[in-house]
A = this chain, B = another copy of it.
Amino acid sequence: MTSERKLILYIAMSLDGYIAKPNDDLEFLSVVAHEGEDYGYAEFVSGIDTVLIGRKTYEKVISMGYEFPHADKEVYVITRQSIPNSGNTKFYSGNLKELVLQLKSQSGKGIYCDGGAEIVHELLKENLIDEFYISIVPILLGEGISLFKQHRPELNLKLSEVKSFDKGLVQLHYKKIFN
């Protein structure tokens, strides 16, 4: 039994499995916005020191006028393009599995996958995600970008914890079952 660092997906989706409406519209998240309630995010982030994020999701965050909120972490933006690194943000266009295995082989805190759907798909195809925090927002969006794309291997999970909140958000925490 090693104490290998875990790769953790922490993300919100609608009950029908979308992380955004078409055109990366994240407006639906406002139905669970609640003054003073961060849904455990700060606590979660205190347990990680590295962030993996897809380029499109990264650019979406930037375009919304936010500073990318992990200045104290090691951030890897996964991209097919060659983009110069910027401060603690590394643009990585190499093999994703190799990066994750290398990070897991190093000592450190958790590795946070911040989406989006493309990087989640690649990570799941390689069976690299160890834990899942899926927050289900009480809405059927009807269309949009699905968190889970088709054509991945089956993966059994162990439910670790369920929390529900005033605004109707339900946070499910699963761990991969090591067969």
Q: A139: which of B28, B138, B154 is its contact (CB, 8 Å)?
A: B154
Contacts of A139 in B (CB 8 A): 154-157
Interface residues of A in 120-173 (CB under 8 A from B): 124, 132, 134, 136, 138-143, 146-148, 150-159, 162, 164, 168-170, 172
Q: A150: which of B132, B143, B155, B164 is its contact (CB, 8 Å)?
A: B143
Residue A112 at the chain B interface, CB threshold 8 Å: no
Interface residues of A in 28-66 (CB under 8 A from B): 28, 31
Residue A100 at the chain B interface, CB threshold 8 Å: no
Copy number of this protein in the oligomer?
2
Contacts of A164 in B (CB 8 A): 159, 162
B138 touches A159 (CB 8 A): yes
A-B contacts besides A15-B157, A159-B164, 9 pairs, CB < 8 Å: A16-B147, A16-B148, A138-B156, A139-B154, A139-B157, A140-B155, A142-B151, A159-B169, A168-B174
- B-binding residues in A (CB < 8 A): 15-17, 28, 31, 124, 132, 134, 136, 138-143, 146-148, 150-159, 162, 164, 168-170, 172, 174
